[in-house]
Amino acid sequence: MKQLRGRTALVTGASGGLGRVLALALAHEGVGVAASGRRADRLADVVGELRALGVRAEAVPGDLTDPGQAESLIARAEAAVGPLDLLVNNAGVENVSAFTRLDPGELTAMVDVNLTAPMLLTRRVLPGMLDRGRGHVVFISSLAGKIGPAYCAPYAATKAGLIGLTESLRAEYAGSPVGFSVVCPGFVAGDGMYQRMTERGVRSGRITGETSPEKVAAAVIRSIRRDRPEIVESGAPIRPVLALAQIAPGLVERLALRFGATAMFRRLIEDRGRVEPGR
């Protein structure tokens, strides 16, 4: 979709962090935005910023841990800003922990928000996009969906699921007027899990690098304009490592240990008391 000005978008997880920057990047392109998230007060601030850029913007609060709200969010967003041309599935839950220290509710919450909700939203928005002859859906995955790090098992699993979902939808709707892209950020400075890590003095190494919300947002815009299947934005030349992981996964496991990725996450869970008993 090369022409973005005058289009409309729903951005989930837009009440702060990366979601706010994604919404602003779309607004700078002239896109009207329905901003969704759990914090109505923060959404109001984001909507004010979007309107100051001269686009139509409305807050559409929603808690995607509730499947019923996910089912109704598309209808509420279209009632607020009009038929949707773009859907950016950004909302996500991160929880760094030893796997056995996660209770069933924590596991299912990550699946509900990170994977089930994007599928429900895409299923709802897709028929209208096809009828109107235009549309694009972006899934915000993670580098963890490409190479699962230690202590992030359910998060990595859900983010890998988004990559598979994108591939399957692109195959099913090849030749249709609707595109699908997945963007896989690495460690994003000032946002989410990595922000909490840096506050504890834990930083990414030279292999995985560090990126910014603005660079991830630029990748999202690029994925829409060029109908890119997948973009990895990590702030480092990580593609050779990802290719190597397909050829020699055992070697990449050893590299992760050598360059401190596992130790980095372990330090974080030790600070949070989420290590396994006896380890």
Chain CA centroid to CA 179, Å: 17
From the candidates 151, 155, 173, 194, which is the catalytic residue?
Answer: 155
Type of residue found at 56: R
DSSP class of 136: E
d(CA 250, CA 91): 32
Do the Cβ atoms of 28 and 2 come closer than 8 Å? Answer: no
Question: Is 155 considered catalytic here?
Answer: yes
HSE (side-chain half, CA atoms, 13 Å) at 168? 8
- Tell me the two tokens of residue 224: 């829409």
Of 128, 242, 124, 119, nearest to 169 by C-alpha is: 119
Phi, psi of 52 (to 5 degrees): -65, -20
Q: How far apart are the first and last CA of the chain?
A: 51
d(CA 98, CA 276): 6
Of 207, 176, 185, 203, nearest to 90 by C-alpha is: 185
Of 240, 136, 248, 117, nearest to 183 by C-alpha is: 136
SS3 223: helix
Of 11, 26, 12, 52, nearest to 219 by C-alpha is: 26
Q: Which residues are catalytic?
A: 155
